[in-house]
Structure 1
Amino acid sequence: MTGARELADSPGAWPVVDSTDLHRDRWVVALRRDRIHPPRQDQGPEVGEPFGRLVVEHPGAAMALAIDERDGVEQVCLIRQYRHPGGGTFVELPAGICDVPGEDPVETAKRELREEVSLEAAEWQHLITTYPSAGISSEVHHFYLARGLREVETDYVAEHEEAHLEVFWAPFDELLAAVLDGRITEGPTAIATLAYAVIQSRS
Structure 2
Amino acid sequence: MAIKDTPEEWTVTATTTPFTGNKTSVRTDEVVMPDGSTVTRDYQVHPGSVAVLALDEEGRVLVLRQYRHPVRQKLWEIPAGLLDIPGENPLHAAQRELYEEAHVKAGDWRVLTDVYTTPGGCDEAVRIFLARDLSEAEGERFEVSEEEADMELARVPQDELVRGALAGELHNNCLVVGVLALTAARAGAGLDALRPADAPWPARPFEA
Q: TM-score, normalised by structure 1?
A: 0.88
Task: Indicate which of 100, 112, 119 corresponds to 1:134.
Answer: 119
* Matching of residue 57 in structure 1 with residue 45 in structure 2: yes
Q: Which residue of 1 aligns with 2:90?
A: 105
Query: By how many angstroms is 1:12 displaced?
Result: 2.2
Shift of 1:139: 0.2
Larger Rg computed on CA atoms = 1
Q: Deviations over 1:96-155 (max 9, x none)?
A: 011111112121111100000000000001011011111111100101100011111345
**Structure 1 stretches of 4+ moved >3 Å:** none
* Residue 43 of structure 1: aligned partner: none
Map Cα deviations across residues 14-51 of structure 1 (whole Å, 9 max, x no partner).
111111111113x2200011101136xxxxxxx32211
Deviation per residue, 1:51-83 (Å, 9 max, x gap): 10001000111010001123xxx1111000000
Secondary structure of residue in 1 paired with 2:19: strand
Q: For 1:77-116, what aligned pairs fall within 5 Å after superposition?
A: 77-116=62-101
The aligned runs of 1:1-203 (5 Å cut-off) are: 5-25=1-21, 27-38=22-33, 47-70=35-58, 74-152=59-137, 153-202=139-188, 203=190
Identity of aligned residues (%): 33
Task: Count how many residue pairs are aligned between Structure 1 and Structure 2.
Answer: 188
Q: Is the 8 A contact 1:114 1:154 kept in 2?
A: no
Question: Is the partner of 1:115 in helix, strand or coil?
Answer: helix
RMSD: 1.3
Structure 1 residues 48 and 154: alpha-carbon distance in aligned structure 2, compared to 1, 3 A threshold: farther
Amino acid of the structure 1 residue aligned with 2:98? L
Task: Give the Cα–Cα distance (whole angstroms) in 2 for the partners of residues 158 and 23 of structure 1.
Answer: 28
In structure 2, stretches of 5+ residues that fail to align are 191-208
Structure 1 unmatched ranges of 5 or more: 40-46
